[in-house]
Structure 1
Amino acid sequence: MSETLEIEALGAQGDGIAQTPAGPVYVPFSLAGETVTVKVKGRRAVLESVTVSSPDRTEPACRHFGACGGCAVQHLEGKAYAAWKRAKVVHALQSRGIDAEVDPLVACSPASRRRVAFTARKVGKSAVLGFNAAQSHHVVPVSECPIAVPQIAAALDPLRELAEAVAATPKSFRLLVTATRTGLDVAVEGAGRLGEKQRRRVVDIVLANGFARLALDGEVLVESDKPVILFGDVSVAVPVGGFLQAVGAAEEAMAGLVVQHLRGGKRVADLFAGSGTFALRLARDVRVHAVESDRAALDTLDQAARHAPGLKPVTVERRDLFDRPLVARELDAFDGIVFDPPRAGAEAQCRQIARAKIGRVAAVSCSPGTLARDLSILAEGGYRVARVVPIDQFLWSPHVEVVALLEHG
């Protein structure tokens, strides 16, 4: 049975929130101030129509919006969208008692995502390629993707053909597609085990479409060229499935803030260093010690540093900073630190940084909540939050990156 609801707020995940006698109901694709007709299913509802629209409602950029679960808020006007994302950071900091001014959101342009994770599934003799519908395992096939760089968007048909060729299971599987300077790098996970005939067909598709590399569950099946990206002006051969910031311009914005903040020091520690996003840029000016638990990423960083001319010395250390953070006496060897942990944050490491007296710290995070927790630990240790910059790189999604710059004393 249909109901009429008044949307009072836009929630943190991009759903409109209506208050009812039974409690809050979350309505995807609705906005604050709207009157909507829905079918309620527990705490969530399916939007049927909007009878009173918000002035912040705009026309979605993609024909698949509303069915595809890849984007949550394409219907939200640009200025309101930027304010909503900035507010997520403000609220997270306030919840931890951190009084810091938050910069305006650094915008993300359409057609800029260089790394896209598609979902695929074999259907009959063909395959569908797209994204899961929201709150569902149903794969919505896409014929366009306005967030992806043109190199990926133009390859949707060949990628669909590749998905059909590698599918050896009726279950959904993943294609992580990265646009590199030498071609598309495709890492397939969970497609099943291929027979020899399938493998030959897959190789033919990769070569015919000029893809740089294809890996199946971590095994490189074909590599016509090393997939290469630039961290600043340093060439880096991307490891299979290795971490990479999704948008190049967002990475440049983050790195620019970090490098500027830590410039002038003598020795900097890059913690959770990955393949060198920050380390290889910082090394133009300072000596860098990079710490990372993933061997492939660390080897990639080490090789890139060894072959790049003009860098200051870069040392590397393989270490799980969750289980064994650098302790205060080790940190005393550095006058600057940058850390960019996974979504869980860097609580244990921050407790050690709080005990040290590092002149400058740059904290990078994809989770405002865990970042706020970590910053509160550092504040208790005498660090001052000098600047907070939210950066958008997952356009039209609830996710926001943050760079926080701190000084001791």
Structure 2
Amino acid sequence: MNGLSSAVTDMRLTIDRLGARGDGIADTPDGPVYVPYALPGETVSVGLPAPDPVEGRAARSSHGRVEARANLIAIDTPSPDRRAPDCALFTRCGGCSAQHMAEPTYRDWKRDSVVTALSRARLDIDIGPLVDAHGSGRRRVTFHARRKDGVDAVGFMAARSHNLISIDHCPVLDPALDRAPQVALDVARLLLPKGKPLDVQITATSGGLDVDVRGYGQAGEGIRRTLTQAAERLDLARLSIHGDRIVERRAPSVPMGKGHVVLPAGGFLQATTLGEDTLARLVLEACVEAPRRIRRVADLFAGCGPFALRLTEIAEVHAVESAAPALAALDRAFRATPGLRRITTETRDLFRRPLLPSELKTYDAVVFDPPRAGAEAQAHELARSTVPLVIAVSCDAGTFARDTKILIDGGYTPIRITPVDQFRYSAHVETVGVFFRPGIKRSSRV
């Protein structure tokens, strides 16, 4: 296991519960001790960091509680809920935190992260069971690329460290990304001589691998020619630097509903195909099962259209997003797909300029799916609106709870909260919340 401090005290602890990041937590008289990769009921030997010289004991958390993070030395009494990890790099690589949990424990832990976040916001709401949306695995991945002592390497960062762990295979990736680590290394070797650390994002698309490199800076004509030749040799769909397309040999498209979206270079895409399908299904079901017909929908933080291109099969959609390339990709897909209702688009920063109640009043439903920071400003405006149906999609339990409380305090009633797991073995969980305005008759189907 990774050492966390050079000055430690060895001790034995009994783990009482799991934390939000997957750490085992031992409740001691001096406060909780967090032990990575430990499970409730286990007795473990740990190295405890030396007391903080100012506090006189372990450091305080952002909540003011005394906490300590220990280094797991040995599992003295293992839990029956422990399983063998799928990856030999587990506990070294920082990408996964929960490969040691048996399935029931893992599912309960993931769901409880949403329950706990809502409880901290003083909300007592029924939560549905966790929906598995891993499918065939993650279809996009970002590798870090570094040159050290003349050796080039790509991989992920070690747990709680800036040390690079070389990767040649990752079991949580879609099989379409099997050759992605080698592709990332081959591309990085052409650029690392400049001396800068790089990030190489690779996405599996219908046209093949789509590669975008970050950290290099502006590419001159010489390196552009070199990269174009590399894209041919590696049979890439597209290769870009900071979203600047170097070469596109085939359209890097992905299906969305009845449409096919050619992704913006380096743009956002849901982590798994099944994850996108599941989130979209929950959104669409909420609209179809609404007590009155949904004719107009506002899709906020719309991206390149995972919800809009499906919702437009039943309603007109106004898609709002700050990234113009994403909206352009959505618009092209919409225009190329027959049989859909109208989609309009608007480039707008919803953090600074959320839609106001006067703008929202013409919509029967609003869907919002913001980045991890949540949609606080937009939630406040929705709370002041008369929109009958609001569907919140979130990749962060904490900001989902905050935004949910804003909606409830503004008069909305939560109908269904569903946690969705498309980030297997990580602490991340997606959540879909369905909210109605009071006084609207509920459908028995919801």
TM-score when scaled to structure 2? 0.88
Aligned to 1:27: 35
Counterpart CA distance in 2 for 1:192 and 1:257 is: 40
Aligned to 1:214: 239
Deviation at 1:259, TM superposition (A): 1.1
CA contact (8 A) 2:135 2:273 kept: no
Corresponding residue to 1:362 among 383, 391, 402: 391
Corresponding residue to 2:346 among 317, 331, 345: 317
Aligned to 1:384: 413
Deviation at 1:261, TM superposition (A): 1.2
Aligned to 1:373: 402
Q: CA RMSD in A?
A: 1.8
Aligned to 1:398: 427
Corresponding residue to 2:212 among 181, 187, 203: 187
CA contact (8 A) 1:96 1:372 kept: yes
CA contact (8 A) 2:243 2:264 kept: no
Specify whether residues 304 and 92 from structure 1 end up closer, same or farther in structure 2 by C-alpha distance, changes over 3 A only: same
The one-letter code of the counterpart of 2:43 is: T
Aligned to 1:327: 356
- Determine if the alignment matches structure 1 residue 270 to structure 2 residue 295: no
The one-letter code of the counterpart of 2:18 is: L
Deviation at 1:98, TM superposition (A): 2.7
The one-letter code of the counterpart of 1:115 is: R
CA contact (8 A) 2:134 2:272 kept: no
Deviation at 1:169, TM superposition (A): 4.3
Q: Secondary structure of 1:168's match?
A: helix
Q: Deviations over 1:207-252 (max 9, x none)?
A: 1221111111222122111210111121101001111110110110
Counterpart CA distance in 2 for 1:400 and 1:330 is: 31
- Determine if the alignment matches structure 1 residue 17 to structure 2 residue 25: yes
Q: Where do 1:4-403 residues align within 5 Å?
A: 4-41=12-49, 43-109=68-134, 111-191=136-216, 198-263=223-288, 264-403=293-432
Q: Deviations over 1:290-330 (max 9, x none)?
A: 11111111111122212211111111111111111111111
Q: Secondary structure of 2:362's match?
A: coil
Counterpart CA distance in 1 for 2:316 and 2:233 is: 44
Deviation at 1:378, TM superposition (A): 1.2
The one-letter code of the counterpart of 1:222 is: V
Q: Which 10-residue stretch deviates more, 104-113 or 357-366?
A: 104-113
Deviation at 1:124, TM superposition (A): 4.2
Q: Deviations over 1:18-42 (max 9, x none)?
A: 2345433222111122122222235
TM-score when scaled to structure 1? 0.95
Q: Deviations over 1:58-115 (max 9, x none)?
A: 0000111111100011001111101101011112222223332211111144741001
Q: Secondary structure of 1:215's match?
A: strand
Counterpart CA distance in 2 for 1:79 and 1:130 is: 30
CA contact (8 A) 1:168 1:194 kept: no
Counterpart CA distance in 1 for 2:218 and 2:303 is: 29
Specify whether residues 196 and 355 from structure 1 end up closer, same or farther in structure 2 by C-alpha distance, changes over 3 A only: closer
Corresponding residue to 1:3 among 3, 7, 11: 11
The one-letter code of the counterpart of 1:248 is: T
Aligned to 2:57: none
Deviation at 1:187, TM superposition (A): 1.0
Counterpart CA distance in 2 for 1:268 and 1:199 is: 43
Q: Secondary structure of 2:383's match?
A: helix
The one-letter code of the counterpart of 2:40 is: A
Counterpart CA distance in 1 for 2:400 and 2:266 is: 25
CA contact (8 A) 2:16 2:27 kept: yes
Tell me, which stretches of 5 or more residues in structure 2 are unaligned? 1-8, 51-67, 439-446
The one-letter code of the counterpart of 2:299 is: D
Q: Which 10-residue stretch deviates more, 159-168 or 192-201?
A: 192-201
CA contact (8 A) 1:275 1:301 kept: yes
The one-letter code of the counterpart of 1:290 is: A
Counterpart CA distance in 1 for 2:225 and 2:180 is: 20
Counterpart CA distance in 2 for 1:299 and 1:193 is: 24
Counterpart CA distance in 2 for 1:162 and 1:116 is: 15
Tell me, which stretches of 5 or more residues in structure 1 are unaligned? none
Deviation at 1:387, TM superposition (A): 0.4
Tell me the number of residue pairs that the alignment of Structure 1 and Structure 2 aligns.
Answer: 409
Q: Deviations over 1:339-372 (max 9, x none)?
A: 0011111111111111222121111001111111
CA contact (8 A) 1:169 1:192 kept: no
Q: Which 10-residue stretch deviates more, 227-236 or 158-167?
A: 158-167
Counterpart CA distance in 1 for 2:180 and 2:228 is: 16
CA contact (8 A) 1:8 1:19 kept: yes
Counterpart CA distance in 2 for 1:164 and 1:45 is: 37
Q: Secondary structure of 1:167's match?
A: helix
CA contact (8 A) 2:256 2:306 kept: yes
Q: Secondary structure of 2:372's match?
A: coil
